[in-house]
Amino acid sequence: MKTIRIGGGQGFWGDSPDAAIHMVRAGDIQYLACDYLAELTLSIMQRQKLKNPKAGFASDFTQLIREIGKEAYEKKIRILSNAGGMNIQGAVDALRSIAEGQNMRGYKIGYVTGDDLLEKLPELLREGRTFPNMDDVGDFDEIKDKIVNVNVYYGREPLMDCLREGADLVITGRATDSALFLAPLAYEFGWGDKDLDDLARGIMVGHLLECGGQGAGGNFDYDWRSVPAMDNLGFPIAEVTEDDLHITKAPGCGGLISEQSVKEQFLYEVHDPANYITPDVTVDISRATIVNDGDNSVRIGGVRGKEKPEKLKMCIGYHAGYKVATYLPFAWPDAYEKARYAAEILMKKMKRKNLRYEDIRIDYLGLNALHLDVAEYDEELIKRLNEVVLRIAIRVKDKEEAKKLIPEISPLQLNGPPGASFFGGRSQIQDVIGLWPALIDRDLVTLTSHMLEVK
Amino acid sequence: MALVYLNTLAHGRSGDKGDTSNVCVYARDPKDYPLLKRVLTAERVKEYFGDMVRGEVIRYEVETLHGFNFVMKHALGGGATHSLRLDSLGKSMGSAFMRMKIDTDDPSGT
C-alpha cells in the first residue's frame, strides 16, 4: 500500500530550522512543507519590500534551502513553502543562486503568482465590486487610501500543477498553510474535487502540521513536564495512506506525539468544528477521533468533507496609525503602589501635553499584563510582589502624539517614586497595520504556475 | 463544595484570528466531560472574562474528543497589531480560561 510521509518544517516566519533539518536527515519523508505566513506577515513583508525591492519574502527559507536543499534533492524529498510572501521573484532568484552555487543541475523550482491583487484593486472598485469586512466592522471608504497589501488565500491546484511538472521545490505567496500539505497528497493519491473526505483529511494533515512544534508537544498545556527533550523538539510528520492518517515524528529527536498533544492542535484556530472553511473543501471534524496507536503515533479518524465555499477569502492590509509601549520597573517594597503612582504622574503630564490617543492600556507586568482582569488581585499577593513593571501603551493617529510619551519614562527614576529602574532604552514607535478580511469571486483571481530549471 | 481551578479538570490551547480568540478545552478525564458540559456554558464564560471579551461567546462541542471550542469575538483588544495588549495574539487566553474556578459538586453549574 502506498504511504506518503510528509513533515511540517516551520510553524511561522522566525521559527527554528532545527526540526526541518533533522527531518530531512532522519525523518524518512518524501515531502517537507514549510509555512511562513501568519495573518499579519504579508503586510510586514510588503513594507519591507517598499524599503528594499529585493526583500519581501521569508529569507529564513532560503537559508534553510542553503543548508538542506541539496541533500533533499539527492534524496528526492520535495519541498513546498509559502515563503515567497510578497516577493516571489526575489525568492526564486535567491533560490536559483543557491542551487547554482551548489551545482544542483536540473533542480526544478516551481512557483505560483497571482495572489497579489494590490494593483488590480482600483480596477475592481471601478467595476463596482465591493469588499465589506467579513467581521461586519468598519467602512471601506475610510481605509481605501491607506491600503498596503491585498492578497487572496488560495488552495492546492496551482501547487499541484508545479508538482505535475516535476518541481523539486514549490514556492508560493498566500497559498493557505494547509494547501502546502494537501497538494502533494492529492497529487500522489489522485484525489479530485469529488473526494471530499480525502481532501478534508489532507487539510487536517496541514492543520496539524502547519504550526510545527505545536503539533508535537510544544506549547503543551496537558503536561509540559512530560515532553522529552524540548531543546531538541521534533516537529510532526504525517503518515498518509489511501484511507488512513497517522501523526508521528522522526526518530532521534525530542517532542511528544500523544492523543493530548494532537488534540491541543486539532481545534486550534478552527472556529465551527463542523464547518472549517478552506479554499479546497469545507472540513467537518465534529465527529473526529484521535487515538494513541503506538510509540509517538496517533491515528486520526472521522474527518469528513463538504463542498468548498463559493468565494475565496482575501486579506487587505492597511495603515492604521501608530503605537508605542513604554516600560518602567519598580522594586519591593510596595512595587505595585509605586508603579500605580508613576502611571498617575505620567497621565497628568500627558493631559498637560494634550495627548490625543485612540486607545490606551496601563498594565503591571508581574501582576496582570497577560490575564488582565481575570488575574488574581489578592491584597497579600500584591503586597509581596518583589517587582512589577509598569507598562503604558498608546495607539495614536498622529506620530507626533506617540513622541510625547516616550521621553517622560526614564526621568521618573529621579523624579518619581523610589526604586524605579529604567531598562531597555527608549521605546520605538511602531506602525499599526490593520487587517481587513473580505471575500472575492473565484473567477476574478488568476493564479499562474511557473517553472525554472537550474542549468 | 469542592472548588478547583479548571486546569485540574481540563487542558487546552488558544489561537487568534483577527479580533477573535478561540480556546479549545478538553476534559483530562472523559468522566468529567458531562460536568464540564454543564458548567462551561457560553454565558458563564462571557461573564467570567468580563471586559476582556467584548463580543459574543460561542461554544461548539466535539463529543468524540471530550472537548469544546470556545469562539470569543472582540476578545483581543482589536486583534493583531491594533491591540495594545502585551499578549496581542491572545496566546495566554487559554491559561486565563484555565484559572476559572469550577465547583465539582454542583450539578447545575451555577
User: Does residue B80 register a pLDDT over 90?
Assistant: no
Q: Rounded to whole angstroms, how far apart are CA atoms B24 and B10?
A: 10
Residue A245 in grid coordinates: 492518517
| Closest among A80, A305, A115, A112 to A209, alpha carbons compared | A80
What letter represents residue B5's amino acid?
Answer: Y
Q: How far is B110 from chain A (nearest CA, A)?
A: 18
> How close B2 gets to chain A, by Cα (Å)?
19
Q: Is A264 on the interface with B (CB under 8 A)?
A: yes
Per the CB < 8 Å rule, is A371 touching B62?
Answer: no
pLDDT tens digits along A167-186 = 999 999 999 999 999 999 99
Would you place residue A229 in the very low, low, confident or very high pLDDT band (cuts 50, 70, 90)? very high
pLDDT grade for B79, boundaries at 50, 70 and 90? confident
| Nearest-neighbour CA in chain B from A98: distance (Å) | 34
What are the strands of the beta sheet with A448-453, ordered from one edge? A289-292, A298-301, A244-249, A236-241, A4-10, A31-34, A78-81, A169-171, A108-113, A448-453
Average pLDDT in the B81-105 region? 95
| Any A CB within 8 A of B48 CB | yes
B56-85 residues touching A, CB cutoff 8 A? 58, 60, 62-65, 67, 69, 71, 73, 77-82, 84-85
SS3 B12: strand
User: Looking at the predicted structure, is the pLDDT value of residue B110 above 80?
Assistant: no
Which of B65, B87, B99 is opposite residue A266, by nearest beta carbon?
B65
pLDDT, tens digit, 9 for 90 and up, residues A24-41: 999 999 999 999 999 889
Mean local confidence (pLDDT), A404-428: 94
pLDDT at A135 over 90: no
CB contact under 8 A, B84 and A325: yes
pLDDT band at B109 (very low <50, low <70, confident <90, very high): very low
- Please list every residue in chain A whose beta carbon sits closer than 8 Å to the beta carbon of residue B21: none
Measured between CB atoms, does A288 come within 8 Å of chain B?
yes
Asked if A391's CB is within 8 angstroms of B86's CB, the reply is yes
Map residue A328 onto helix, strand or coil: strand
* Whole-prediction pTM: 0.96
For residue A349, pLDDT beyond 90: yes
Task: Give CA–CA dist A450/A89, Å, rounded.
Answer: 11
Are B22 and A269 in contact (CB < 8 Å)? yes
Give the H/E segment covering residue A348: helix A335-352
Q: Report the residue of chain B nearest A268, measured CA to CA.
A: B15
Cα separation of B85 and A362, whole Å? 9
Rounded distance, CA A90 to CA A56, Å?
8
Contact residues on chain A for B24, CB-CB shorter than 8 A? 263-264, 266-268, 270
